[in-house]
A = this chain, B = another copy of it.
Amino acid sequence: MDKLQRNERIGILMKLLTDSPGKIFTLGNFTEIIGSAKSTISEDIDIIQDILDKFDLGMIVSIPGASGGIKFIPSISSEKADFITRNLCEELSQKERILPGGFVYMLDIIYNPVKIENIARIFTRQFYKKDVDYVITVETKGIPLAFATARFLNVPLIIVRHYNEATDGASVNINYVSGSKKKLQTMVLSLKSLKRNSKLLFIDDFMKGGGTAKGIMELAKEFECEVSGIGVLIKTAEPDRKLVDNYFSILTLDTVDEENGIINIRSSR
């Protein structure tokens, strides 16, 4: 291949880095792909970092040592996180969202790839330093959010299910009590899913009592794994005491007033 010009190199490096968030590239990897000297590529990377800074689109992190290199982290500034959060509050407080029983309709948000990736950027900002090995969630509504977060952190996704399937192989089943409804439920996870002694990040769309999160912590124990982070899009203000501590929530749902058509939701910060 002909030597690439700087603007072409910047284009391809930007594409490769941001297509594979969290993946470690060595300068040697890039040399193989684009055929330029490491010193040249190193200058290109500095330019990319400047562009990412200028537009608040993430950062390049250097990993020292023999297995070192650089990786792209799609983290964002706290201003941008606040902006995303404000927009979510605005959308989620539309009174048309109120459902019988005081529930809030949000499937159009939590299944929308663009909105989900924005939310996942906030989780990435919060959790990338934890160096987790997996993102874990429970079927079904949190799956898109957990998947997008797993992609940004460059780790596999684990989906805990409520029923066993033949395609899981042998599985670990635990019973847990949902925090809000005091209902006994089952969690099932294939034995092959998780390596022992791994660090897990639990991601979900909603937390009321915290029973699901607590169930995940118990399930993790059965696999000799540790939950090193819990992130939810929305937590309810009541009950104030959840069954788990140390969780991160983006939004807090205070009240849903069915009669007057008012949803009170705000940033958790």
Interface residues of chain A, those whose CB is within 8 Å of chain B, are 1, 6-8, 10-12, 14-15, 18-20, 23, 33, 47-48, 50-52, 54-55, 57, 99-101, 103-108, 111-114, 116-117, 139-141, 143-144, 147-148, 150-151, 154, 156-159, 161, 166-169, 190, 192-193
Assess whether B193 is in contact with A107, with CB atoms less than 8 Å apart: yes
- Known contacts A140-B139, A143-B144; is-contact A113 B156 (Cβ 8 Å): yes
Contacts of A1 in B (CB 8 A): 54
How far is B143's CA from A249's CA once the two chains are assembled, in angstroms? 24
How far is B144's CA from A20's CA once the two chains are assembled, in angstroms? 16
How far is B106's CA from A10's CA once the two chains are assembled, in angstroms? 37
Contacts of A47 in B (CB 8 A): 7-8, 11
Question: How many identical subunits does the complex contain?
Answer: 2
Assess whether B11 is in contact with A156, with CB atoms less than 8 Å apart: no
Assess whether B15 is in contact with A18, with CB atoms less than 8 Å apart: yes
How far is B101's CA from A256's CA once the two chains are assembled, in angstroms? 49
Contacts of A54 in B (CB 8 A): 1, 8, 12
Instruction: Please indicate which of the listed interface residues A105, A113, A168 has the most CB atoms of chain B within 10 Å of its own CB.
Output: A113
Assess whether B141 is in contact with A143, with CB atoms less than 8 Å apart: no
16 A-B pairs (CB sep. < 8 Å): A8-B47, A12-B55, A12-B57, A14-B14, A15-B52, A33-B55, A99-B166, A103-B166, A103-B169, A105-B167, A107-B168, A107-B193, A108-B192, A111-B158, A116-B147, A141-B159
